[in-house]
Amino acid sequence: MSEEQLSFQAEVSRLLDIVAHSLYSNKEIFLRELISNASDACDKLRYLAVTDGDLMKDDPDFRIDLEIDSNANTLTISDNGIGMNRQELIDNLGTIARSGTSAFMEQMESSKDGSNLIGQFGVGFYSSYMVADKVSVTSRRAGEDQGWQWDSDGKGKFTIAEVEKPGRGTSITLHLKEEQKEYSEELRLRTIIKTYSDHIPIPIRLKKAPEKNEDGSIENNGDWETLNSASAIWTRSKSDVTDEQYKEFYHHVAHAYDDPWLREHFRVEGVLEYSGLLYIPGSKPFDLFHPDRKHGVKLYVRRVFITDDCQELIPAYMRFLKGVIDSEDLPLNISREMLQDNPMLRKIRGGIVKRVLGILDKKAENEQEEYLKFWENFGSVLKEGLYEDLPQKDALLKLCRFKSIKTDSWISLADYLENMKEGQEHIYYISGEDEQALRRSPQIEGFKAKDVDVLVLHDPVDEFWVTSVNEYEGKGFKSVTRGGADLNKIDSADDKDDSSKDKEEDKAELGALLGYMKLTLEGEVKDIRSSERLTDSAVCLVADEGDMDIHLERILRSHKQVDEASKRVLEINPKHDLVKRLSDLIKEDGAAKELEDIAWLLLDQARILEGQMPSDAATFAQRMSRVMGKGLS
Ligand SMILES: Nc1ncnc2c1ncn2[C@@H]1O[C@H](COP(=O)(O)OP(=O)(O)OP(=O)(O)O)[C@@H](O)[C@H]1O
């Protein structure tokens, strides 16, 4: 087959354009990316060879080789890993499958200086174009006979052609840009490998240029020099690994380039034996909430890479974890299907969950500021565990941090309980999407007045756990937009001022108003009641005790999971001037029309405060005009 020319997927072209034109100063990381890919390719073959030994029989020792040609100004990185066939070359090097890429590119394009972002994201193979103006890839898939060559200058198109390739694996030749000649110098390469790739568990070798002695004899005939330690970092003892090496391993295993927030290197012995090196990233990945997002923990069995896609290893609510788990007990030839319901794996998962929760607990306890960095990045994800992993509910609730109406900083549930008022039986919360709007909600007025704190839950995930988690330390969670507020049970200095005689009179007058409004608004609301929770506003809507919370219902309706809106309870503030005036008006003759208008306007006002529309915008406007006109006359 002759050479074929194909176009990059549009996203790749955009990415290549960003890479080539970025002001990214740290160009040397291209080598880290290519070596990382080569090492992954060897891992993949090692796994396949467990069940098909023939795949690597002819060449059993993995290696990654670097060769320089200073005359041609090229650098070649070769591996004897899994290799790629024609279709794989087209798919892998011509399209982008990673879930976070679109989000990354949007941010890149909207930010002035993307260098920082490129550093965080890692553009993999395409980073070659930071130093090369042309890249040639020859590859032969293990177990196949035909080799393929892929060539591109990174400007929209690439070619692919059949080629002779004696050994399996991939060779990537970078035709270095004139100004990037330094990457064809031995010393430079040695330093880069030591810095970024020492942890790679496969020998990375550099072919030394033959040296001529003075007498013309050749000193070394192109010997290979191994540049890295070449042992799996998690098998070494902690004292043998430097912070820098731990960090570089994180960059490799997580494909992320921030500093990890936490690392945990451990070994479990006993009935079940496994070791692990886990990290929690220092920043929030672009794709944390992407539906395809998976955790980044690779499963190894006795140093053999098995998979980086084992959903049974780590629960989804810990998908921020990155790193490696290496089991001594699982069978080497375990298939990915067999992993699905494996009791040993379930135990490992249980162990990891406990370990991670334990570490987080310690951090939350001893290094509160530090812990909040984690919480702000990954708290939303961890909270998913509150309904996905009920046995861990209490441990998770202990780790949760919340905003509340009394403070802009984060508090724990323990802090909340400590500040509960005499007679307060519930942990009160208000939930919705907009934190500031929640803080202004009429439903929290009475709580503020009584100095009772209310948690402000503005994370979309909150609506889901808060309805399934019943209590913390014996105190139930209660929405302030639902049911009775129970505020009269809570002591407050204000209550003592009202004389009981006044109260009785007020009650009778309000009773008449409530009766009138119930008749007028019949069918529109479930009930109309005097409110304990309002102090400044005249009205608000609440959900009846057994009904669905107003905000939760709104979310479910927007996802079409609930068809009809429930009828709500309209609460009226008996202490509000307008309400008092209405109670008087009801005794006057000829006020019926005005009263009717106001009753409807109050209901629509309460609806608007909940972010809803008045039931009929035109009638609402007419009523409003009539009442305003009356006010002016
Ligand atoms: N040396 C190699 N041998 C075999 N396959 C490779 C090699 N280099 C790259 N690939 C294939 O090309 C794909 C794309 O590589 P690329 O570096 O762009 O992304 P990635 O490795 O998936 O992620 P990242 O961008 O984080 O490096 C890889 O997933 C792999 O399938």
Q: Whose CA is nearest to atom 9 of ligand 1?
A: 37
Q: What is the pLDDT of residues 133-180, one digit of tens each?
A: 999 999 999 999 999 999 999 999 999 999 999 999 999 999 999 999
- CB-side neighbour CA atoms (13 Å) of 180: 23
One domain for residues 310 and 214: no
Structure tokens at 118: 């490129």
How many residues are listed for the chain in this entry?
Answer: 633
Q: Which of 92, 99, 293 to mutate to test the pocket of ligand 1 (most atoms within 8 A of CB)?
A: 92
CB 220 within 8 A of CB 210: yes
E-strand ranges in 412-521 read 426-431, 455-457, 471-472, 475-479
Contact in structure between 514 and 579 (CB atoms under 8 Å) = no
Q: In this structure, is residue 240 part of a structural domain?
A: yes
* pLDDT tens for each residue of 330-367: 988 787 778 888 899 999 999 999 999 999 999 999 99
Distance CA 127, CA 27 (A): 8
The model's pLDDT over 445-463, given as tens digits with 9 standing for 90+, comes to: 989 988 999 999 999 899 8
Q: Please say whether the beta carbons of 47 and 301 come within 8 A.
A: no
Q: Is residue 400 part of a domain?
A: no
pLDDT of residue 257: 82
On the question of pLDDT at 184 being above 90, the answer is yes
| Residues in contact with ligand 1 (CB, 6 Å cut-off) | 33, 37-38, 41, 79, 81-84, 92-93, 98, 122-126, 170, 255
* Closest of 356, 378, 353 to residue 285, by C-alpha: 378
Using alpha carbons, list the distances in angstroms from residue 582 to 339, 498, 517, 592: 69, 21, 11, 11
Domain boundary at 319, 342, 366, which? 366
Please say if the pLDDT value at position 494 is more than 70. no
SS (H, E, C) 285-330: CCCCCCCCCCCEEEEEECCEEEECCCCCCCCHHHCCCEEEEEECCC
Residue that wins the pLDDT comparison between 625 and 562: 625
Nearest CA to 289 among 99, 108, 120, 466? 99
Parallel, antiparallel, or unpaired: how do β-strands 204-207 and 147-152 relate? unpaired
Beta bridge partners of 205: 65, 226
- pLDDT of res. 75: 97
- How far apart CA 252 and CA 38 sit, in angstroms, is 11
Distance CA 431, CA 477 (A): 12
Residue of minimum CA distance from atom 30 in ligand 1: 92
Residue closest by Cα to atom 11 of ligand 1: 92
Q: Which two tokens stand for residue 229?
A: 């330690």
Q: 70-74, 310-314, 372-376, 609-613 — which is least confidently predicted?
A: 609-613
**Ligand 1: centre distance to CA 261 (Å):** 26
- What's the 33 CA to ligand 1 centre distance in angstroms? 9
Cα-to-centroid distance, 179 and ligand 1 (Å): 26
Residue 112 has a pLDDT of 61
Same domain, 216 and 242: no
Judge if 255 and 288 occupy the same domain: yes
Kindly give the distance from the C-alpha atom of residue 533 to the centroid of ligand 1, in angstroms, as a whole number.
59
Report ipTM (2 d.p.).
0.97
- Cα dist from 631 to 75, 594, 627, whole Å: 84, 11, 6
CATH of the domain at 598: 1.20.120.790
What is the token pair recorded at 537? Answer: 């506003």
From the CA of 40, how far away is ligand 1's center (Å)?
Answer: 8
CATH code: domain of residue 135? 3.30.565.10
Q: What is the structure's pLDDT at 490?
A: 78
Distance of alpha carbon 197 from alpha carbon 237, whole angstroms: 18
Report if pTM > 0.90.
no
SS (H, E, C) 400-428: CCEEECCEEEEECHHHHHHCCCCCCCEEE
> How many whole angstroms separate alpha carbon 117 and alpha carbon 324?
25
Local structure of 225: helix, strand or coil: strand
Of these ranges, 59-63, 577-581, 589-593, 607-611, the one predicted with the greatest mean pLDDT is 59-63
Q: Whose CA is nearest to atom 26 of ligand 1?
A: 255
* Ligand 1: residue whose CA is nearest its atom 17: 124
Percent of the chain with pLDDT over 90: 57
Residue nearest to atom 2 of ligand 1 (CA): 38
Q: Which residues contact 584 (CB under 8 A, 6 or more apart)?
A: 509
| Structural domain harbouring 147 | 3-228
DSSP 259: -
- pLDDT digits over 229-247, tens only? 888 999 999 999 999 999 9
pLDDT at 370 over 80: yes
DSSP-derived pairing of the beta strands 262-268 and 527-530: unpaired
Residue 117: pLDDT band (50, 70, 90) is low
Residue 461 lies in a domain: no
Binding site feature residues for ATP: 33, 37, 79, 84, 92, 99-100, 120-125, 170, 336
Q: How many domains does the chain have?
A: 3
Identify the pLDDT of residue 98.
67
CA of 51 to the centre of ligand 1 (A): 23
Answer whether residue 357 is part of any domain: yes
Closest CA to 452 of 485, 475, 483: 485
- Which ligand 1 atom sits closest to the C-alpha of 81? 3
The string of pLDDT tens digits covering residues 618-627 is 999 999 999 9
Q: Which string of DSSP letters, residue by residue, matches 120-186?
A: HH--GGGGGGGTEEEEEEEEE-TT---EEEEEE-SSSEEEEEEE--SSSEEEEEEEE-GGGGGGG-H
Residues 217, 284: one domain?
no
State the Cα–Cα distance between residues 326 and 302, nearest whole angstrom. Answer: 6
Are 79 and 177 in the same domain?
yes
Confidence of residue 609 (pLDDT cuts 50, 70, 90): confident
Q: Which pLDDT score, from 0 to 100, does residue 328 have?
A: 94
Q: Are residues 69 and 144 in the same domain?
A: yes
Strands laid side by side in the 132-140 sheet: 4-7, 157-163, 147-152, 132-140, 169-176, 74-79, 64-69, 204-207, 224-226
**Same structural domain, 240 and 95:** no
Residues 94 and 183 in one domain: yes
What is the Cα Rg of the chain in Å?
A: 33
Please, what is the angle between helix 592-609 and helix 500-520, to 10°?
Answer: 90
Distance from the alpha carbon of residue 307 to the mean position of ligand 1, in angstroms: 15
Cα 523 off chain centre by? 44
For the chain, the average pLDDT equals 88
Q: Is 629 exposed, middle or buried (0-12, 13-18, 19+ CB in 10 A)?
A: exposed
User: Where does a domain end: 336, 366, 396?
Assistant: 366
On whether residue 483 sits in a domain, the answer given is no
The last residue of one of the domains, among 366, 382, 401, is: 366
Specify the range with the lowest mean pLDDT, choosing from 20-24, 93-97, 456-460, 463-467. 20-24
- What pLDDT, on the 0 to 100 scale, is given for residue 499? 54
Query: Strands of 527-530's sheet, edge to edge?
Result: 527-530, 569-572, 539-542
Ligand 1: nearest atom to the Cα of 255:
26
Please say if the pLDDT value at position 24 is more than 70: no
In a domain, 46, yes or no: yes
Residue 562 maps to a domain: yes
- Of 113-127, 290-304, 377-391, give the range with the top mean pLDDT: 377-391
The listed range with the strongest mean pLDDT (78-82, 108-112, 185-189) is 78-82
Q: Could you tell me which residues are annotated as the binding site? A: 33, 37, 79, 84, 92, 99-100, 120-125, 170, 336
Q: Which residues pair with 571 in a beta bridge?
A: 529, 540
Nearest CA to ligand 1 atom 25: 124
Q: Which atom of ligand 1 is nearest to the CA of 83?
A: 4
Ligand 1 centre from 150 Cα, in Å?
Answer: 14
Residues 299 and 198 in one domain: no
Is 415 inside a domain boundary? Answer: no
Residues 246 and 214 in one domain: no
Quote the distance between the C-alpha of residue 460 and its chain's center: 13
Q: 187 and 253: one domain? A: no
Give the pLDDT confidence of 473-492 residue by residue, as tens digits: 999 999 998 877 677 777 66
Q: Of 423 and 498, which is predicted with more confidence?
A: 423
Residue range 296-304: mean pLDDT, rounded: 91
DSSP assignment, residue 492?
-
- Return the pLDDT at 566: 80
Using one digit for the tens of pLDDT, what is the confidence trace for 188-223?
999 999 888 888 999 999 998 777 777 777 666 778
21, 20, 27, 142: which is closest to 81 by C-alpha?
A: 142
User: Could you tell me the pLDDT band of residue 321, with boundaries at 50, 70 and 90?
Assistant: very high
Contact criterion met (CB below 8 Å) for 325 and 352 = yes
Query: What local confidence, expressed as pLDDT, does residue 454 receive?
Result: 96
Distance 252 CA to ligand 1 centre (A): 12
pLDDT at residue 557, as a whole number: 74
Predicted local confidence at residue 178, as pLDDT: 93
Minimum-distance ligand 1 atom for the alpha carbon of 79: 1
CATH number at residue 248: 3.30.230.80
Phi-psi region of 240 (alpha: psi -120 to 50; beta: other; left: phi over 0): alpha
Mark whether 16 and 163 lie in a shared domain: yes
